[in-house]
Amino acid sequence: MEERLRFVARLLEGEAMSDLAREFGISRKTGYKILNRYKQHGLEAMCDRSRRPWRYANQLPPQLESLIVRTKREKPHWGARKVRELLVMRLAGLPFASPNGLYNLSRLSVWWLRLGIAIERIKPGKPTQNGRHERMHLTLKTETTRPPGMNSLQQQARFDDFVQEFNQERPHEALDMKTPAELYRPTARPYRGLPEIDYPMHDRDALVTACGRICMHRKKINISTVMAGQRLGLKEVDDGIWVVSFMDYDLGYIDLEQKTLQPIDNPFGSRVSPMS
């Protein structure tokens, strides 16, 4: 801190940046950064900034941590490998949200975003905010799983019968006692694949690998496997700090020194108004 103060004081007295940078053993770019921070924040900017990442790359979401603890309590004599395999079986093919994905995104929801479909989420533990959907689930469970089928084939047959009745025969009060089949009209817009993503306002772009990483300056940075195959936009906002964007959504910042993605406020947070 004292060296930075001396550096800034001598700059303000009129000494040349190039001479001072050479004397203090720093680049001119770093010198200007120190000066600008002093002008913006005063003496506080001269203190060392923490390099601690906002989010550890290997840290699990709280929901997944609590699920692991709860599963271990259910199976106290199981080892870590068996608990892991049980959780993989329970969590595999989660379509709408992934508890260990970036911002709880799944590959399906990322695909929807590419198609221009906005994501609407309710607040955790607030099923009343999506009351109609929850009511449909109750009807589905009541008519197809109580009691359940004797095997998977019988159960699937009951699901198929329910879909046929629900869409073709059952009157719906929300539809003025009509069936969904009476009101459904297929879209006139054919599916022509995913549109290309362009980032004209960014410095560069990068393709996420199958293992959920991007490569920058010969460094591998973990993003998320749900983003595998997607192209991200990158823009440098500070020395070694890059903002990462997916389409129109900012996902967070990359610190090249830490080689981690530091997420920001969830751009896909709950925005749904309560409904009955």
Domain ranges for the chain: 2-46, 126-183, 204-263
Check the CA dihedral 102-106-112-114 and report its sign: positive
pTM over 0.85: no
Measured distance CA(43)–CA(5) in Å, rounded? 8
Residue 204 clears pLDDT 60, i.e. is over it: yes
Measured distance CA(36)–CA(135) in Å, rounded? 57
What mean pLDDT do residues 180-188 have?
A: 91
Q: Which residues, other chains included, contact 232 with Cβ-Cβ below 8 Å and sequence gap of 6+?
A: 205, 206, 207, 208, 214, 223, 244, 245, 246, 251
Measured distance CA(249)–CA(238) in Å, rounded? 19
What mean pLDDT do residues 70-89 have?
A: 84
Q: Tell me whether residue 239 is exposed, middle or buried, using C-beta atoms within 10 angstroms of its C-beta: 0 to 12, 13 to 18, 19 or more.
A: exposed
Give Rg (Cα) of the chain: 27
Residue 89 clears pLDDT 80, i.e. is over it: no
* pLDDT at residue number 134: 81
Confidence label for 34 from pLDDT (cuts 50, 70 and 90):
confident
Looking at the DSSP bridge assignments, the partners of residue 250 are 245
Residue-averaged pLDDT of the chain: 82
Name the helix (H) or strand (E) containing 41. helix 28-41
Q: What is the dihedral of CA 137, 143, 144, 149, to 10 degrees?
A: 150
Measured distance CA(43)–CA(27) in Å, rounded? 21
Name the residue among 239, 248, 240 with its Cα closest to residue 267: 248
* pLDDT at residue number 60: 64
Kindly give the pairing relationship between strand 260-263 and strand 249-255.
antiparallel
Cα angle vertex 64, ends 247, 258, to 5°? 55
* pLDDT at residue number 100: 66
Cα angle vertex 67, ends 66, 73, to 5°? 90
Measured distance CA(163)–CA(156) in Å, rounded? 11
pLDDT in tens, 131-169: 877 888 888 889 998 888 888 788 889 999 999 999 999
